[in-house]
Chains A and B, each alone.
Chain A
Amino acid sequence: MEKAEYNYDIVRSFVNWSILWGLVAVLVGVLIAFQLVNPDLNFAPFLTYGRLRPLHTNAGIFGWGIGTFFALFYYMVQRLCRRPLWSDGLAKFQLWFFNATIIAAAVTLLLGYNSSKEYHELEWPVDIMVVILWVIFSVNITMTIVKRKEEPMYISLWYMLATLVGVAVLYLVNAAAVPVSLFKSYSAFAGTNDANVQWWFGHNAVAMVLTTPPLAVFYYFLPKSTGVPIYSHRLSIIAFWSLIFMYLWTGAHHLLWTPVPDWIQTLAMAFSVMLIAPSWGSVFNGYLSMKGQWHQMRDNYLVKFLILGITFYGLQTLQGPSQAVRSFSAFIHYSEWVPGHVHMGAMGWVSLVLFAAIYYLVPKIYDRKLYSIGLANLHFWLVLIGQLINSLSMWVAGLQQASMWHSLNPDGSLTYTFMETLAEIYPYWFVRALSGIIYLAGVVVFIYNLYMTVRRGKEVPVAAAQTT
């Protein structure tokens, strides 16, 4: 296969832009973390916490997450299908449309145009841009696969295809709204129904954006990095189908003890616990693929990122189901515990896997050697420590907060007023904000390392770059 055929231009561009949005997400994350410690940092109406928090989550999940998936999917699909992209023109258009969408999203969110629905805050005109973006992407990926030169589809392609339909169905249904002006619409569903639809969407955004795409990435880049194939094909098949089947039942675990009908909550709880099996199917598959290769954890920085990533995925999919159990939910729901869960997934699982893939990719698509493995290791430790402190501080804060919220005096009255509970959380918030700076430092090292790779890294002969 001649290298010239593959379209790496588009991969390069998506990597660059998504890293920029990732940096924005982390910077805003640090700012809102400090705002919780000191409300004077709400500088202007458009920089208040209530408007910045959605910007943080959107930049993180859509700018950094989806942006990188665009890059990696375009890379993987060409390699796995042994053919160039179906349409370079569409892909190019998609790149600029993606950036236009993210900018439109950022501006409108800062102006306060939002639907209030978590992870679906964008108002209807931007929603339409997202839909167009997704259709273009889906067509290009699907057509490339349809016209592939390699008959069997590798595991990563299954996860990619499932992502395409999953996101489409979820996003369209939850977007249903009645517009009243260019920047304002009202949900098509009301009250309890709206809540149920929203969290059917919300949890499956976790499934179809923060689980299936990183799994596609993991299944491709782990064997590429170690040089050893995935342990069990059969396990991959079972894990894939049961995962995408079960996820859709679990949305109401975000709504335990609310007015949503009890039977929906019970189903959500049951399926959440069952989800441990397919999730850990992939975790075991990853671990067992390392048989005889564990020394690579020391020798190969890519493997370190990937295996830590899948480990956090494993922990995340044990913690998640426990949070879905009614009694534990009664305790930790609404508390600081939940951001701890979120960031183990977002900063640990998703971001670690994406970092690894980008490290693998950039030398290939630029025909360079990585500038510094030492810096890559430094990056690894900074983001790992930043993330661990972030999650740990929030778990401890959440447990203490929840105990105080629920604590009763012997006569059945509340032990603590709300303000007494709030006062206890400030030290944890401060620690979390500092952890954000450590994480940010890691990201800066990452960007520097990539920049130097492209600018100064040693050129590698084309043929050598092709072989691995």
Chain B
Amino acid sequence: MIWEKNPVLLLVLATCAILVGTIITMVLPFAWVNTEADSIASVKPYTPLELEGRDVYIREGCNNCHTQTVRPLVADVLRYGDYSKSGEFVYDRPFLWGSRRTGPDLARLGGKYPDEWHYKHMQDPAGFVPGSNMPAYAFLSGKTVDPEYTRKKMAALNFPYTEDQITGLAGKTEMDAIIAYMQKLGSDIPWREAVAAEIVGELVNPYAGVDHATMEAWEHLYKENCAACHGEHFEGGIGPELDGASLEENDLFEIIYNGVPENGMPPYSSLGADKVWKIVNFVKYYNIGEDHQ
């Protein structure tokens, strides 16, 4: 065939062959994506501090272990929160959806934990969350942000900013910046209220009257989920000291199941009612009469 004898023709034909799929699946979508059709009014560009944090996230390659898209699948939504919508990413240059979940998805991280949790976690993840293999990023606390450079970046991206925001950057560390960024993730739409699990039916403690030995087997639930904030022995830390005697079983259940997201107490409905009841009993009865410290 002639193309087998004519390299220029082969090059032209090969270019045409690769352009068909390219135009249809890569060029054409620009007509639909990031237009009126998928825009969400409440989604806002990054502030200077958040943008700086986002750039640290990119520099450190956090996207090699973390994704930032929640898929509309039951387990994804239960674990991470409302599924991601196209309009939420219009200010993301580059997108940071990632391809590996060596660590958990971060698309809905904003507001999940108080800032203090993040400072402790980033400092030494494996020390703070036993069993973690996330590298320590303590060194970010030692590096400050350059306000004028950030101004250039905001201008390049055409993001609005105020003079106060720029001057406010003085003295901020990269750690402050990355935590500001993480607190913004996925929180432009009011999804938490929308997905707050409803408690159906009357609350009945299925483990009423449980003995101490049984509860010992539940200690790991507390250690893994609560100790980082409420201390190994209920003594408190990021969250308040837990005094089992001061709260009713049902109130405890509600607080733990739905959390107090606006005050930094995450919801644990995804653990399921059974595990939450175990934790309720553990918190309320495990160390009755013992010294919290």
Contact = CB atoms under 8 A, between A and B. Distances in A.
Given A117-B94, A192-B86, A257-B72, A248 B100 contact: no
Contact of B84 (A249, A258, A418): A258
Contact of A146 (B7, B24, B62, B133): B7
A114 B79 contact: no
Contacts of A328: none
Given A204-B18, A249-B21, A258-B71, 15 more contacts: A112-B60, A145-B7, A164-B11, A173-B26, A186-B157, A190-B91, A191-B34, A191-B91, A196-B25, A197-B26, A248-B22, A259-B89, A261-B29, A408-B78, A423-B131
Interface string B131-169: 111111101000000000100110011000000000000
14 contacts: A39-B134, A40-B126, A142-B7, A169-B15, A190-B93, A194-B92, A248-B18, A252-B25, A255-B97, A267-B24, A330-B71, A413-B274, A414-B79, A415-B272
Interface string B76-94: 0011000011101111111
A183 B74 CA distance: 41
B85 A417 contact: no
A190 B89 CA distance: 7
A245 B26 contact: no
A161 B270 contact: no
A165 interface: yes
B272 A186 contact: no
Nearest to A186: B93
Interface stretch (A46-54, A291-299, A314-322, A449-457): A46-54
Given A186-B157, A190-B34, A194-B92, A39 B125 contact: yes
B136 A418 contact: no
Nearest to B102: A36
Contact of A180 (B65, B89, B97, B153): B153
Given A152-B4, A198-B95, A49 B271 contact: no
A193 B30 contact: yes
Interface in A301-340: 330, 333-335, 338-339
Contact of B25 (A36, A54, A112, A200): A200
A5 interface: no
A42 B135 contact: yes
Given A39-B126, A192-B34, A338 B94 contact: no
Contact of B139 (A45, A51, A264): A45
Contacts, number: 264
A467 interface: no
Nearest to A163: B14
B100 A244 contact: no
Interface in A154-197: 157-158, 161-162, 164-166, 169, 173, 178, 180-181, 184, 186-197
Bin chain A's interface residue count.
35 or more
A279 interface: no
Contacts of A267: 24-25
Nearest to B143: A45
Given A113-B59, A190-B91, A248-B22, A157 B29 contact: no
A289 B170 CA distance: 69
B78 A418 contact: no
A151 interface: yes
B67 interface: yes
B217 interface: no
Contacts of A50: 60-65, 135
Contact of B59 (A42, A112, A259): A112
B20 A248 contact: yes
A151 to B, nearest CB: 6
Contacts of B139: 45
Interface string A122-141: 00000000000000000000
Contacts of B19: 169, 248
B269 A190 contact: no
A313 B254 CA distance: 54
A414 B5 contact: no
B89 A245 contact: no
A197 B135 CA distance: 30
A102 to B, nearest CB: 19
A241 interface: yes
Nearest to B154: A180
B260 interface: no
A166 B11 CA distance: 10
A250 B26 CA distance: 10
Contact of B5 (A39, A153, A197, A415): A153
Given A50-B61, A50-B65, A153-B5, A413 B78 contact: yes
B91 to A, nearest CB: 7
Given A152-B5, A153-B4, A258 B33 contact: no
Given A162-B14, A259-B86, A335-B101, A413 B133 contact: no
A192 B89 contact: yes
Contacts of A191: 33-34, 86, 88-93, 95
Interface in A185-232: 186-198, 200, 204
Contact of A251 (B25, B93, B104): B25
B18 A259 contact: no
B272 A409 contact: yes
B173 interface: no
